[in-house]
Structure 1
């Protein structure tokens, strides 16, 4: 009789622990910059990120075939703010004017627009198929997006909290640096 009560208590305790585990792995807790497919909301890759963190996206422009670097930071409202744009050619598809408050400079053969205040909840990007080679850069990390995202795929880039399951499904960019 005692062993049945003891077994019941262990069973209930194990059931409770399993329930807590199942619930906890589904609670979004880690803030990340995510690259997801907008149609399915599937996270393809992500990087843990905090307010004030900066990152860049580098790509080869399809027309003039030179590097373009877009610089971003995460605001206090968890928006993505573009604060700088660097490019080499004043050609089709590149800005010829700046917005109020922005600063334009040319140095070492590169054009830079600084002091940009362009804020986004998210933005979409199509990972280049031929020569764009979209690359995520943060500190010493340089990660070609084509390693985790099929070229030609449209992705949405945004800040959100993710849970353990989403972390396991997506590629953590920091764990796959070159």
Structure 2
């Protein structure tokens, strides 16, 4: 009987700890060093929030902006905008996707609806990667350093 009570107490303590953690932490976009796993930054997010990464394509030397959305605590790619074709740039439209042309010569593909179980960028040495989130523009080069692999995920963080 003593073992049962001890086991039950452990379960209650764990459940209470998880409950408390979820009460005092908030959902965030987490940026971690892809090599070490060390947390670089955390940005509060909520369901439906969007963020984007803009960079200069290494081959065609034109801007690319990838837009992501938070859904049920996961990251989904929802659109990309680019100005020229090159390696890794979409050249065919899949079912459910829409290609729109901008007056500035941009091409925007919408309708990806693809969950990103693994999302990372290598911060450029020649050009920067800019994170747009919560109305702020953040230089990943300044935040993380050149040649850093930055992995993005959703999680929870305690904030003061």
Structural mapping, 1:1-178, within 5 Å: 27=21, 29-75=25-71, 77-108=72-103, 109-131=105-127, 133-138=128-133, 140-164=135-159
CA displacement at 1:64 relative to structure 2: 1.3
Matched positions, count: 140
CA displacement at 1:139 relative to structure 2: 5.0
Structure-2 separation of matches of 1:84 and 1:93: 14
Determine if contact 2:35/2:149 at 8 Å carries over to the other structure. no
Tell me the TM-score normalized by structure 2: 0.79
* Unmatched 5+ stretches in structure 2: 1-16
1:7: which partner in 2?
A: none
Determine if contact 1:122/1:159 at 8 Å carries over to the other structure. no
Which protein is bigger by CA-based radius of gyration? Answer: 1
Tell me the TM-score normalized by structure 1: 0.71
Q: Which moved more, 1:57-66 or 1:32-41?
A: 32-41
Q: Which moved more, 1:38-47 or 1:102-111?
A: 38-47
Match of 1:118, SS state, is strand
Determine if contact 2:54/2:64 at 8 Å carries over to the other structure. yes
Structure-1 separation of matches of 2:35 and 2:136: 28
CA RMSD of the aligned region, Å?
Answer: 2.2
Q: Deviations over 1:65-101 (max 9, x none)?
A: 11101011101x2111111100000233311012221
> Relative to structure 1, is the Cα distance of residues 163 and 122 closer, same or farther in structure 2, using a 3 angstrom cutoff?
farther
Match of 1:148, SS state, is helix
Structure-2 separation of matches of 1:153 and 1:116: 27
1:20: which partner in 2?
A: none
